[in-house]
Amino acid sequence: MKTYITSTFSPLMIQRGGAKVRECKEQEARRVLLRTTPREQLLETWESAVSHEITARLISEKFGVQVPFNRVNLSVGCDTRIIAICPIFRASIAREYTAKELKDVKWRYFIIRT
């Protein structure tokens, strides 16, 4: 199973077929993230699809694991898991958030499986 870490999710990321989406608590997202890191020496790895540098840095600090900035157009098929770590913050216009804006923001966590 391929695993992606994102800071957002859209149904348009799914190529075809369906997906199961469920919200989870921070601890569950943390367990999944840490269980799949390469440094845990497990076979399963993950790839970052966090498209904003500041968000990637804050997620890295929050979870204690390097989640690199990686702006890609994510389009996933079958047998994929997405861990969406989403800041609950909306700017009045589409733009990257500042570190100050994200410092005290609350987060929501989702696990999406195709």
Alpha-helical segments (H) within the chain? 26-35, 53-63, 99-103
Give the residue-averaged pLDDT of 26-34. Answer: 85
The pLDDT score that the predictor gives to residue 41 is 46
Q: What class does CATH assign to 2-113?
A: alpha beta
pLDDT at 43: 46
| pLDDT of the residue at 36 | 55
The whole-chain average pLDDT of the chain stands at 84
Average pLDDT of the segment spanning 17-35: 88
Q: Say if residues 98 and 104 touch (Cβ distance below 8 Å).
A: no
- Name the DSSP letter for residue 34: H
Contacts of 27 (CB under 8 A, 6+ apart): none
Percent of the chain beyond pLDDT 70?
A: 83
pLDDT of residue 10: 92
pLDDT at position 85? 95
Residue 15, token pair as written in the block: 């190529």
Confidence of residue 77 (pLDDT cuts 50, 70, 90): confident
**How far apart, in whole angstroms, are the C-alpha atoms of residue 31 and residue 43?**
16
